[in-house]
């Protein structure tokens, strides 16, 4: 069964693909890629796993958090791309005592960053048992040291079920220090417990380094998300560009292919503009993050509209439970000029207005400012060659289907009426 959350994850996957360049690139992107050297430094990833005593709790699919993490790790290790240099670090895995000073130093590298020996890494993870404290700050510092050297992509993926227990070393401040070094090291965080305080801390760590925070409550979600983050490390890093949407298309910023970030108030509409040439296809995807407590029932809408207000195509997604992000996307292929016209007229771009709307609301106790984080991915690629292909994305095939259904309904009604009259005539005769 496909849940709404999984549908949201699939839409968010489209955003990731657009941002990382996994979708077919346009001519300019292809030319740029051709100029790059074939060989680049291998990306480095370190998985940082919380092995503190609280990981004994049995609240993930009927098993302990530690068992769920081990199962997810086995799935992830099987799927790590060959080019990724991967390491594993633990926190709270060795010291079971009450001495705070000792417990807050309890972090070590379980498997060194380098080419992956899957059997060896799985064996190392299998030996872990929930033990001690939760020194997130020291673990992040250790992981940053583990990933030093080289110019390749570097990523820390932190999996934890609790808040750091080793203050005053604030892990959020540690993340800011890591970001301030300018090493482009990204920290992604995954929380195993839906706790507001934990959520705030892990969100702060992720945002400080340009990473993401995800709440996971099932083993398959944990496995899927970690795989996605490891795969992302193997792709070129795309830095999002901050932009300010407008309250109407005429004042909207003009965007080119790329990844953009913005903030949107609850239940607000924001507008952006993209120029699409004949023969190009516009692909856009948007994600709106719920970085605070929100009410049930929410949605996100992405519309492509002409400058005169006519809707071209839309993408939308809705939810009715707890979420961290909700995403949707759309595609709009602009028909190419015919050969005769193309030779005589210079192609003129069509300005397409993109409207991003959300239907989030918040409890009275929750602050609604600043607005919710928005991530918008835009790509322009070569569109389909045949006019029939263009119609398949618009109303062309839809109108044919509507006509067939209408005709079928009419014929069925006539036949049913004739049969009813015939039966009535027979009944009267008898």
Q: What is the pLDDT of residues 40-78, one digit of tens each?
A: 689 999 999 999 999 999 989 999 999 999 999 999 999
* Nearest of 18, 7, 3 to residue 286 by alpha carbon: 18
Question: Can you give the pLDDT at residue 178?
Answer: 86
Instruction: Report in angstroms the alpha-carbon separations of 107 from 45, 72, 129, 352.
Output: 17, 21, 14, 52
Residue 74: predicted pLDDT = 93
Which residues, including other chains, have CB under 8 Å from residue 407's CB and lie 6 or more apart? none
For residue 48, list its beta bridge partners: 89, 158
Pairing of strands 269-276, 350-358: antiparallel
Residue with tokens 């600043």: 370
Q: How do residues 351-410 score in pLDDT, each as one tens digit?
A: 999 999 999 998 998 888 888 899 999 998 876 544 433 333 333 344 455 565 666 666
Q: Give percent above pLDDT 90 in the chain.
A: 48
CB burial class (10 A; 0-12, 13-18, 19+) of residue 280? buried
Question: In sequence order, what are the residues at sequence separation of 6 or more whose Cβ sits closer than 8 angstroms to the Cβ of residue 200?
Answer: none
Distance from C-alpha of 311 to C-alpha of 268, rounded to nearest angstrom: 18
Distance CA 404, CA 392 (A): 16
Mean pLDDT of 285-311: 91
Distance (Å, whole) CA 353 – CA 310: 10
Contact 172, 142 (CB under 8 A): no
CATH of 241-390, one of 2.160.10.10, 3.40.50.970, 3.40.50.2000, 2.60.120.380: 2.60.120.380
What is residue 398's predicted lDDT score, i.e. its pLDDT?
A: 45
pLDDT at residue 420, rounded to an integer: 64
Alpha-carbon distances of 131 from 64, 147, 231, 364, rounded to whole Å = 13, 26, 30, 40
Q: Count of CB atoms within 10 A of residue 2's CB?
A: 7
CA 190 vs CA 62, 199, 222, 264, 283: distances in Å: 19, 9, 8, 24, 29
Q: How far is the C-alpha of 158 from the C-alpha of 89, rounded, in Å?
A: 9
pTM of the predicted model as reported, rounded to 2 decimal places:
0.54
Confidence (pLDDT) at 268? 92
Whether 241-390 and 40-233 are alike in CATH topology: the answer is no
Number of residues that this document lists for the chain: 430
Q: Is 401 helix (H, G, I), strand (E, B) or coil?
A: helix
* Mean pLDDT for all residues in the chain: 81
Looking only at the bridges linking them, the beta strands covering 280-289 and 372-382 are: antiparallel
C-alpha closest to that of 291 among 263, 317, 268: 263
Domains of the chain by residue range: 40-233, 241-390
- The CATH number corresponding to 40-233 among 2.60.320.10, 3.40.50.410, 1.10.3720.10, 3.50.50.60 equals 3.40.50.410
Task: Let me know if 385 is exposed, middle or buried by CB neighbors in 10 A (0-12, 13-18, 19+).
Answer: exposed
pLDDT exceeds 60 at position 260: yes
Q: Which residue has the tokens 């005169």?
A: 308
């Amino acid at each position: 069964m496909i849940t709404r959350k999984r549908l949201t994850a699939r839409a968010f996957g489209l955003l990731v693909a657009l941002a990382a360049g996994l979708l077919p690139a346009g001519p300019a992107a292809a030319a740029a890629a051709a100029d790059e050297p074939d060989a680049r430094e291998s990306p480095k990833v370190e998985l940082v796993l919380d092995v503190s005593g609280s990981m004994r709790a049995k609240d993930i699919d009927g098993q302990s958090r530690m068992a769920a993490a081990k199962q997810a790790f086995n799935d992830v290790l099987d799927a790590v791309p060959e080019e990724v240099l991967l390491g594993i670090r633990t926190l709270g895995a060795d010291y079971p005592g009450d001495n705070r000073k000792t417990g807050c130093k309890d972090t070590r590298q379980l498997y060194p960053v380098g080419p992956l020996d899957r059997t060896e890494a799985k064996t190392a993870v299998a030996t872990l048992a929930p033990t001690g404290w939760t020194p997130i700050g020291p673990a992040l510092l250790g992981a940053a040291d583990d990933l030093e050297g080289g110019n390749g992509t570097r990523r820390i993926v932190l999996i934890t079920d609790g808040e750091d227990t080793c203050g005053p070393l604030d892990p959020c401040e540690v993340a800011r220090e890591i970001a301030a070094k300018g090493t482009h090291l990204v920290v992604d965080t995954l929380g195993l417990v839906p706790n507001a305080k934990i959520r705030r801390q892990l969100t702060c760590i992720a945002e400080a380094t340009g990473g993401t925070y995800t709440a996971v409550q099932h083993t398959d979600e944990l496995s899927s998300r970690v795989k996605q983050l490891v795969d992302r490390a193997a792709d070129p890093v795309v830095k999002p560009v901050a932009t300010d949407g407008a309250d109407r298309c005429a004042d909207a910023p003009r965007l080119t292919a790329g990844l953009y970030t913005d903030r949107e108030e609850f239940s607000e509409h924001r507008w952006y503009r993209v120029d699409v040439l004949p023969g190009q296809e516009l692909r856009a995807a948007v994600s709106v993050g719920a970085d605070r407590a929100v009410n049930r029932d929410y949605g996100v809408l992405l519309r492509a509209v002409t400058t005169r207000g006519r809707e071209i195509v839309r993408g939308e997604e809705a939810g009715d439970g707890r979420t961290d992000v909700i995403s949707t996307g759309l595609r709009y292929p602009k028909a190419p000029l015919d050969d005769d016209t193309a030779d005589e007229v210079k192609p003129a771009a069509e300005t397409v207005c993109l409207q991003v709307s959300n239907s989030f609301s918040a409890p009275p106790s929750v602050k609604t400012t600043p607005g919710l984080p928005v991530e918008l991915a835009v790509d322009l690629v070569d569109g389909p060659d045949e006019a029939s292909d263009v119609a398949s994305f618009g109303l062309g095939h839809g109108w044919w289907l509507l006509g067939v259904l209408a005709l079928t309904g009419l014929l069925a009604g006539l036949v049913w009426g004739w049969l009813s009259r015939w039966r009535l005539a027979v009944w009267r005769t008898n």
